[in-house]
Structure 1
Amino acid sequence: MIELLSTAALATVQDHGRMGSLRHGVGTSGCMDQLALAAGNLLLGNDENAAGIEIPVFPFQVRFTHDCAFALTGADGQATLDGMTLPPWWVAQAREGQVLSLGLPAARSGSRAYLTLAGGVDVPQVLGSRSTQLRGAFGGHEGRSLRQGDRLNAAAPGTLRTTDFGLVPPALALPLAVDGCAAMRVLPAAEYLRYREDSRAAFWAGEWKITAQSDRYGYRLAGEPLVPIAPMEMRSHGIVPGVIQVPPGGQPIVQMRDAQPSGGYPKFGTVIEADLWRLGQAPIGSRVRFIETTYDAAVAALAELQAWLHEAARLVALHRAAAWRN
């Protein structure tokens, strides 16, 4: 069990999302960086969809009320356990009474850290998921963000034999940037060709700032406005995380994990599934670039992520085998 001593804002319990409910008007929710959560669960030997804590704002501090193995992935929050520095993307053992603290993220390390516990964070499933849906106020811990004094149980607390090792972060193993700017690959969507040619060219050539109005529902971007060839009026239609919609002002919105399941703005493109974690780790106020891609390339990118996870699983298995031999 852990007790929250300090949390700045918006830390939530998340797993990989609430699938199969879009037809009922329920969005997917889930972690903004699926690779980070998956890696944390790998390091602990958890089920791949075990829930963890997503920490988008720092500082963050918890006390372990029982012995518990844990992992930290995602943004490097300069973590310490009772004052002892912990490396990022690391699995460790906490003893009863120890305090885990995360400060400000290291430069260029991302914007969201993930704390996973042995067995996963033990909260009830709602519609097949433990993820928090903030707008609907359900799932996770009481349907809300975490606050000081909250207590959460680990599903399998105790001592792991294999701790104190880690993984190379995917941002280092699978870098993607354009002119030093973080980049994501995008598939043109249904209304792409209904925008002026110069606007389409500017979308790929320019940098886009993630504005302060961005959140888990959508990242609002600022850059050269996207101008349609002619005004468009559309009925609401189904959307999913990654879809880039364009309101009348021409500044695009990328739908994120808490996106509603329908919307009426034109669809300019879609950030491919394999790159959504990159966008989820881009800090508010930072600038990103977009790279035009194809369906085949998007599928290949997803296979590349799976290969990284398979290699991570192989390395974790080697550490466990070595620990048992010793």
Structure 2
Amino acid sequence: MIVIERTTALSSVQDEGRFGALHYGVGTAGVMDPLALRLGNALLGNQPDDAVIEIPLFPFRMRFTRDCAFAISGGDSPAMLGERRIPAWWVAQAREGEVLTLHASRFSARSYLHLPGGVDVPQVLGSRSTQLRGEFGGFHGRGLQQGDSLSAARDAYRGAVDFGIASPRLSLCNSPDGVPQIRVLPAAEYGAFTAESVARFWQQQWRVSPQSNRYGYRLDGEGLVAKAPLEMRSHGIIPGVIQVTHSGQPIIQMRDAQPSGGYPKLGTVIDADMWLLGQVPVGSKVQFVEVNWAQADEAERDQQRWLAGICQRIDDYRRCPL
């Protein structure tokens, strides 16, 4: 169906993630931008969790070996299908032999390529996501390489093509001055840090360090100070948890995070903002906003209502184009 012509080993097959195996020491993996997964799959009439190719470095180039519909999501830069410009967040029809090239965006870190029925790879522990550290799942347990050939799980797509949606950033992203506002719940060791450094955590803008990846985002800024030396036994952690190293620099655990760690936990990024955090490019800045449990729950419900509404409108148009 497709052959990879240019990529890096950081491109991988992912779905929503691998859940229920943390007690075995197996992390969740999965897409860094779950909103893009849902919306791109909706554009093709796929199931919400169908596997996709996640692309974090560009340009990414692939060739279609047969006629095939596809969708792109996540990134906010247009793609090129041969000599034809394809908008972001779009579903299109490719012909056999055509080459699709995806380019980097100033505003987003990752793009996703969707195929009819999803990328056809076997499930491992209930997920098709690539677990890069454990070298299983996805496409042979590794990142994609030049020459890899992948297939769609469904032979054909029936529905409208050459249509798309506006970027979710226009509806859901709160980014004054272009700096994303990421909402955070205080966590267990929040009170272990001085009031001055905690206030600074909320007030300053943090830069996503070049030492950031799918395992974790290291943040550059004026570090936090503990009230007293703090040593902890390793304990369970999940994506979104913000830990503070001995140097005072925060690390946000991301999708490939290990299931346990011993650094104190300052806070946790709310589920509703993990998609936005996953799209922050390395070198960009973020600012954190404190919320309580009720506000986090309301944000999640609001986002799910928005998502259900736009997916329904996509489905209506895909079935009955104007």
Q: When the two structures are superposed, what TM-score results if normalisation uses the length of structure 2?
A: 0.97
- The corresponding residue for 2:158 is 160
Deviation at 1:178, TM superposition (A): 4.3
After superposing the two structures, state which structure 1 stretch, 214-223 or 176-185, moved more. Answer: 176-185
Deviates more, 1:34-43 or 1:95-104: 95-104
Q: 1:177-214 deviations in whole A, cap 9, x for unaligned?
A: 24431110000000001100000000000010100110
Cα distance change, pair 178–268 in 1 and its aligned pair in 2 (3 A): farther
Q: Secondary structure at the match of 1:288?
A: strand
C-alpha distance 102-321 of structure 1, shift in aligned 2 (>3 A): closer
More moved, 69-78 vs 172-181: 172-181
The farther-off stretch of 161-170 and 138-147 is 161-170
2:252 corresponding residue in structure 1: 254
Runs of 5+ in structure 1 lacking a partner? none
Which of 290, 293, 307 is the matching residue for 1:292?
A: 290
Q: Is the 8 A contact 1:93 1:160 kept in 2?
A: no
Deviation at 1:320, TM superposition (A): 2.8
Aligned residues: 322
Question: 1:7 Cα deviation (Å)?
Answer: 0.8
Note if 1:186 corresponds to 2:184: yes
Amino acid at match of 2:205: E
Paired AA for residue 219 in structure 1: Y
Deviation at 1:57, TM superposition (A): 0.2
CA distance 1:168–1:38, shift in 2 (3 Å): same
Q: What is the alpha-carbon distance in structure 1 between the residues aligned to residue 309 and residue 273 of structure 2?
A: 19
Aligned partners of 1:101, 1:48: CA distance in 2, in Å?
25
Aligned to 2:237: 239
Tell me which amino acid in the other structure corresponds to 2:180: A
Task: Compute the displacement of 1:278 (Å).
Answer: 0.7
What SS is found at the alignment partner of 2:320? helix
Whole-angstrom CA distance in 1 between matches of 2:208 and 2:67: 40
Residue in 1 aligned with 2:76? 76
What is the aligned counterpart of 1:305 among 284, 303, 306?
303
**8 A contact 2:61–2:102 mirrored in 1:** yes
| CA distance, structure 2, for counterparts of residue 2 and residue 211 of structure 1 | 34
Q: What whole-Å deviation, never above 9, does each CA across 1:75-113 have from its counterpart, x for those lacking one? A: 1243011110011100111111111111232x32x1100
Q: Say what the alpha-carbon RMSD is for the aligned residues.
A: 1.2
2:262 pairs with 1:264: yes
1:55 aligns with 2:37: no
Deviates more, 1:269-278 or 1:304-313: 304-313
Q: Distance in 1 between matches of 2:145 and 2:158?
A: 28
Question: For residues 305 and 13 of structure 1, what CA distance do their matches in structure 2 show?
Answer: 25
- Aligned counterpart, 1:35: 35
Contact 1:8 1:59 in 2 (8 A): no
- What is the CA distance between 1:159 and its match in structure 2? 4.1
1-side partners of 2:177 and 2:192: how far apart?
28
Please name the residue that 1:128 is paired with: 126
The reply on whether 1:172 has 2:158 as its aligned counterpart is: no
Identity, in percent, stands at 57
Kept after mapping to 2: 8 A contact 1:67/1:94:
yes
Could you say which residue in structure 1 is the equivalent of 2:208? 210
